[in-house]
Chain A
Amino acid sequence: MAAVLPSGGVSATPVAQRRSRTGYFLLLPGMAWLGIFFAIPFITLFVTSLQAPSPDAAGQFVPAFQVSNYAEAFLNYWPQFVRSLVYAGLATIFALLIGYPLAYFIAFRGGKWRGLLLVLVVAPTFASFLLRTYAWQTILSDNSPITQFLNFLHLLPDERILNTGIAVVAGLTYNFLPFMILPLYAALEKIDPRLIEAGSDLYASPVTTFRKVTWPLSLPGVVAGTLLTFIPAMGDYINAQLLGSTGDRMIGNAIQVNFIQFRDYPIASALSFILMAAILVLVFSYIRRAGTEDLV
């Protein structure tokens, strides 16, 4: 990530990296901010997750080493964990299926309109995230054309979309789609079109050319895009809250309810910690398998 320069010209070129105190001075304020308000909170989160209820005052917690909080959190909320994995996984797959053609189209057919098309991909995020999700309530409501059409084909198990898991997955797919498209585009745009031409010149069918040339070369974008979609989808609770029923709640809902409504800080912290650990394990094993270490 850092070594952009040929090591030979370190002292000669003006962009050569200098070693001086200025570097540390430039890093200090920002990194201190991240250290205090991002890294340290993880420690307090961990400490809080081990706290026990205070014997004197109801609703207060005292420092302890109550590991059973983790067991309690997991036993009470494992369905939400599983559901988050499934919903976020499905949303990521759908976003990849929908996003790839658009990214491909912009990269190879966009021409001078590429910049404008990319703006159009990002533009929907300029409108409030919450309101866009509410808009899906209108679009997927029981008497909306799409629900009636799918019911006409007898495709809906509950004869409705809103307040089912389908609506939650649809909302997650929609909301995080731009995060899938942008890295896909960045990877596809770097591919030399001549490589794809060479494939067809050598009598490979379009499908084979895609499978053997385009897809492997776009893999870094696929990895980045799936991560950028999966991670926020996994932790999201807005879509489940607004589009799903109480039976479709995800782990984010459990964290939010325990922190803000029940004020059961140890359990909520334990849930947060488990979620973060699960995501880190998934992310790092995924990056290793996909072989793009330079993502970090």
Chain B
Amino acid sequence: MNWLRKNLIAIIGILVLIYLFIPIAVIAVMSFNKPEGKFNISWNQFSTDAWQNLCGVPGVCDSFLVSIQIGLISTVVATIFGTMIAFALVRYRFRGRSSTNLLIFLPMATPEVVMGSSLLALFLNLRFPLGEVTVIIAHIMFIISFVVVTVKARLQGLDPRLEEAARDLYASPRATFRYVTLPLVLPGIIGAALLGFALSFDDFIISFFNAGTLVTFPIFIWGAAQRGIPVQVNALATLVFLVALVVVLTSQFVSYRRRKSLEILPEEDRSPATVDVMSRS
């Protein structure tokens, strides 16, 4: 009884974690199903057909590649723009800071259906043809804010003494930026880019409004639903899930190792970054 009271929070926590993974398990299990009819909703028979023939259904892989292409282009542009804004917010003083903050915050507080429809209203009024370009424009727009928030948090967390040390050692502003600031902020930028790609790759609502006849992977799933979603879609989604999980776990592990190696050094003023600057100058 006492044991239960002590560990109640842990038990509930683990149950919630399991709950979060139930649908993932269903998606993965159903990728090995051989559905009885068109609809892959209930379990019928084990089969690896979908995994052996990932592109076996017309349009699946085309839409998958379209989504990857859109994700890459939007992520690169949004990461550059968002990182620039984050630097400006933390390092520079300028007029109109509060309205700038508001314009960055609002896209994260706006329902996708409103953003998608208002952008569609703009394109319709301009008679701008819908397609890959409009989807990329939309994705860049909604990713920027997330990049700003992520990079800004990293930038604010930097130890000012590191850059101070570089200057004291006569590093030029450019060298300080290149060899101190950028390497330290880079994990934040990479994290922001990964998040941006994930958001873009999985976006359905905003894309659907602005895609015209273009078919992204989520739009393909949506369209296939009426006829029954091909098992290949489950296999591809499982694959994406596993790849993303491995990427994130690896980056977690790397940063854990880096923190570990920091702990070996004496606490005061001897983080590897400082040592690095010293050896360069």
> Which residues in A have some Cβ–Cβ distance to B below 8 Å?
1-2, 4, 13-15, 17-20, 22-24, 26-27, 29-31, 33-35, 37-42, 44-45, 47-48, 98-99, 101-102, 104-106, 108-109, 115-117, 119-132, 134-139, 141, 143, 174, 177-178, 227, 231-232, 234-238, 242, 252, 255-256, 259-260, 265, 268-269, 272, 275-276, 279-280, 283, 296
Cβ–Cβ contact B19 & A98, under 8 A: yes
Q: How far is the CA of A19 from the CA of B137 in the complex (A)?
A: 31
A119 touches B248 (CB 8 A): yes
Whether B84 contacts A30 by the Cβ 8 Å rule is yes
Cβ contact within 8 Å between A13 and B160: yes
Question: Interface size on B (CB < 8 Å)?
Answer: 95
Closest to A22 in B: B92
**In terms of DSSP, what is the predominant structure of the interface of chain A?**
helix
Report B255 CB to chain A, min CB distance, Å. 8
Closest to A48 in B: B121
Q: Is B22 positioned at the interface, with any CB of A under 8 Å from its CB?
A: yes
Whether the pair B218, A130 counts as a contact (CB closer than 8 A) is yes
Evaluate contact between A124 and B144: CB separation under 8 angstroms. Answer: no
- Give the 5 A-B CB pairs with smallest separation, nearest first: A235-B111, A23-B92, A105-B13, A30-B81, A135-B23
Contact assessment for A17 and B114 in the assembled complex, using a CB-CB cutoff below 8 Å: no
Q: Is chain B's interface secondary structure helix, strand, loop, or mixed overall?
A: helix
> Which residues of chain A are near B218, meaning CB under 8 Å?
128-130
Which residues in B have their C-beta under 8 angstroms from that of A124?
Answer: 20-21, 23-24
Known: A17-B91, A44-B118. 10 other contacts (CB 8 A): A14-B160, A14-B166, A34-B103, A34-B107, A45-B117, A105-B12, A124-B21, A126-B240, A131-B237, A276-B111
Kindly specify which of B53-61, B202-210, B267-275 makes contact with the partner chain: B202-210
Contact check, B22 vs A139: say whether CB atoms are below 8 A apart.
yes
In contact, B124 and A105 (Cβ under 8 angstroms)? no
Whether the pair B113, A235 counts as a contact (CB closer than 8 A) is yes
> In this complex, which of B14, B26, B145, B234 has the most chain A Cβ atoms within 10 angstroms of its Cβ?
B26
B3 close to A (CB within 8 Å): no
Q: Give the residue name and chain of the A residue nearest to B221 (CB).
A: A130
Say whether B113 contacts A23, CB under 8 Å: no
Residue B265 CB within 8 A of the other chain: no
| Of the residues B16, B84, B140, contact of A27 by C-beta under 8 Å | B84
Q: Find out whether the CB atom of A130 lies under 8 angstroms from the CB atom of B245.
A: no
9 contacts between A and B (CB under 8 A): A1-B101, A17-B90, A109-B10, A123-B244, A124-B24, A134-B229, A135-B27, A137-B41, A256-B209
- B189 CB–A CB distance under 8 Å: no
| Contact pattern, B 107-139, Cβ under 8 Å of A = 1, otherwise 0 | 101111111011111101100000000000110
By beta carbon, the residue of chain B nearest A63 is: B125
Interface contact A130-B111, CB-CB below 8 Å: no
Chain B contacts of A237 at CB under 8 A?
Answer: 113, 205
Cβ-based interface call for B256 (8 A): yes
Please tell me if the beta carbons of A272 and B114 are within 8 angstroms of each other in the complex: yes
Question: Of B23, B103, B104, B166, which is within 8 A of A139 by CB?
Answer: B23
In the complex, which residues of chain B have a beta carbon less than 8 angstroms from the beta carbon of A104? 9, 13
Q: Which residue from chain A places its CB closest to the CB of B160 in the assembled complex?
A: A15
Chain A residues contacting B17 (CB-CB under 8 Å) are 102, 117, 120-121
Given A128-B221, A129-B218, A296-B102, CB of A26 within 8 Å of CB of B113: no
Q: Name A252's contact: one of B24, B26, B113, B137 (CB within 8 Å).
A: B113
Closest to B111 in A: A235
Complex-state Cα separation, A22 to B88, whole angstroms: 8
Interchain nearest-CB distance for A285 vs B (Å): 14
B residues near A48, Cβ cutoff 8 Å: 121, 124-125
**Interface assignment of B241: CB less than 8 Å from any CB of chain A:** yes
B46 within 8 A of A: no
Whether a CB of chain A sits under 8 angstroms from the CB of B89 is yes
Would you call B23 and A127 a contact (CB within 8 A)? yes
Q: How far is the CB of A92 from chain B (nearest CB, A)?
A: 14
Q: Which of B85, B121, B244 contacts A26 (CB 8 A)?
A: B85
- B10 cross-chain contacts in A, Cβ below 8 A: 105, 109
Residue of B nearest to A143 (CB): B42
A129 touches B202 (CB 8 A): yes
B92, A19: Cβ atoms closer than 8 Å: yes
